[in-house]
Structure 1
Amino acid sequence: MRPSSGSCPAHASPARAPGAAARRCARSEGVRRGRRELLGGSDRRTPVDNLVAIAGIGLTPLRPVSPDLSFRELVLEVCRLVPGPVSVEVTAVDPEGMVRQARELASWAPNVVVKIPVTAAGLEAISTVSKEGIKVNCTLCFSVNQCLLAARAGAAYVSPFVGRLDDVGQDGMTVVRDTVEIFKKYNIPTKVLAASIRHPLHVVAAAKAGADIATVPFKVLLQMVHHPLTDIGLSRFLEDWRAAGLELELPVGR
């Protein structure tokens, strides 16, 4: 890659170019690589990036996105780009470990929401950290009962997984719908986050079901933006405009 003004070469790393400046350069490139993987393969800010920043983002520590970027650095960069909640998941499976990790993750940035799975250990951890003011997104919910228990433990969000339930022959959206109905009936403040969204129709169904939030993959977000008739209509308008020989004159300086 050819570096432009103010950028770092793609191959720069502390090992090949020692010193504080080289480390900063490598971290900067690592951030760009991480951002490319998170936001659809481009390191240029596009209008779609603003859609990503509307509500928030979720991160699961499955694999490193760059050898020059630690998971903590990635989370901090995302928290800087996204003004809304950023859900970050624990990896411990025991309550003590979950609590320790939740406290650490929550200390990274004020908009971090800690993801904790809805297990017996997870519910114990949620009860502990929620009393400390740490916001929790209870993840891997597949039943209304799990959502109720998570809310009772103090979770700020519950995440019923729609697509994965559909995969095993169950109606995932029913869990969302029933959870929303019960939370409203009993004035439970926990927000319902529809997760495992596979396509735009899931988003519409989640909205109709009353979900507060939908976790939408970047690919689905793009599908929501685009419609073939919009493209055709815009193309025809521009053709008619050019055929008319008109120009849109704007005042100087605008």
Structure 2
Amino acid sequence: MNAESGLKLKLFADGANLAEMRAMYKNPAIAGFTTNPTLMRKAGITDYAAFAREVVAAIPDRPVSFEVFADDLDGMEAQARIIAAWGPHVNVKIPVTNTQGVFTGPIIHRLSSDGIVLNITAIMTVEQVAQVAEALAVQTPSIVSVFAGRVADTGIDPIPHMKACRAALHGRPKAELLWASPRELLNIFHAEEAGCDIITATSDILAKLALVGKNLDDYSLETVQMFHRDAAASGFEISTAAIAEQPAHQSDPA
């Protein structure tokens, strides 16, 4: 089954490994790319701008999100305008607040009003979505990234939560709702059920799309074969001779 062909929402690849990003770019089902400073740090990136320019050159015609990392709103806005100039397909990620919890609405409004396509990130609540929607310019496309996976980590069912977020964006038809931080492949279908426009996922999750529709009997047999193969490769042994030497089990007298 070609799982991608039946999906209505867009698949974005999340990561900061340039080789993996290039490989994902070869897949026409991947509609865009996202990254963030944490993923870049894990990937060993030390020159933010140089890495971003390599990505923009390697992926010239699909949306790519790069995030500001200043903590004051003026610094965020200045970085956002620089990042936006890296390419017409570059989306600028702005966190919903700074590290002190100050809402970034004023700069969201200014940047969006100037036609810069923003990806508002680290959102968790429906109330935050409503605040962001109010700040966004109606005429400018944008992405509103709700970290549904982290919401689920707190014990909240993310599907009705994301449906409520969808409703909170009703006045911003050019704002796309993105399901961020998925924990498993099934979340792709959860995101579609919730009315999301986009889901961003790491390459290990996206690779599992090939499993969609797989016969479970076949999958069961392959799993048994894997266990047997790995046991043999490890040289595991359990002596059965000792079992024969053990006395027969005696039942307790009634």
TM above 0.5, one fold?
A: yes
Pair 1:192-2:177 in alignment: yes
Number of the residue aligned with 2:230? none
Native 8 Å contact 1:93 1:122 kept in 2: no
Amino acid paired to 2:117:
K
Pair 1:79-2:56 in alignment: yes
Pair 1:88-2:70 in alignment: no
Structure 1 residue 51 displacement after superposition: 2.8
Instruction: Identify which of 115, 132, 145 aligns with 1:133.
Output: 115
Number of the residue aligned with 2:247? none
Structure 1 residue 138 displacement after superposition: 0.7
Q: Deviations over 1:18-44 (max 9, x none)?
A: xxxxxxxxxxxxxxx9423x44xxxxx
Partners of 1:210 and 1:146 in 2: CA distance = 18
- Structure 1 or 2, whichever has the larger Rg, is 2
Percent identity between the aligned chains?
32
Q: Deviations over 1:190-227 (max 9, x none)?
A: 11011011111100010111101001111110011235
Which structure is higher in strand share? Answer: 2
Number of the residue aligned with 2:151? 165
Partners of 1:213 and 1:108 in 2: CA distance = 23
Native 8 Å contact 2:92 2:119 kept in 1: yes
Number of the residue aligned with 1:207? 192
Amino acid paired to 2:32:
G
Pair 1:109-2:87 in alignment: yes
Number of the residue aligned with 1:29? none
Q: CA RMSD in A?
A: 2.7
Q: Deviations over 1:34-83 (max 9, x none)?
A: 423x44xxxxx65x54237731111112317457x732222122223332
Number of the residue aligned with 1:122? 104
Structure 1 residue 122 displacement after superposition: 1.7
Q: 1:66 to 1:160 in 2, by over 3 A?
A: closer
Native 8 Å contact 1:177 1:209 kept in 2: yes
Q: Deviations over 1:107-163 (max 9, x none)?
A: 111111111111234222211211221111110111111111112111711111111
Number of the residue aligned with 2:208? 223
Q: 1:187 to 1:100 in 2, by over 3 A?
A: closer
Higher RCO (Cα < 8 Å, 6 or more apart): 2
Native 8 Å contact 1:116 1:138 kept in 2: yes
Partners of 1:80 and 1:54 in 2: CA distance = 17
Q: Where does structure 1 lack aligned partners over 5 or more consecutive residues?
A: 1-32, 40-44, 234-254
Structure 1 residue 172 displacement after superposition: 2.3
Number of the residue aligned with 1:97? 75
Native 8 Å contact 1:177 1:210 kept in 2: yes
Structure 1 residue 97 displacement after superposition: 0.7
Query: TM-score scaled by structure 1?
Result: 0.67
Q: 1:34 to 1:208 in 2, by over 3 A?
A: closer
Native 8 Å contact 1:93 1:121 kept in 2: no
Query: TM-score scaled by structure 2?
Result: 0.67
Partners of 1:60 and 1:187 in 2: CA distance = 25
Partners of 1:213 and 1:52 in 2: CA distance = 15
Secondary structure of the structure 1 residue equivalent to 2:87: coil
Number of the residue aligned with 1:153? 135
Structure 1 residue 169 displacement after superposition: 1.2
Q: 1:52 to 1:79 in 2, by over 3 A?
A: farther
Native 8 Å contact 2:166 2:177 kept in 1: yes
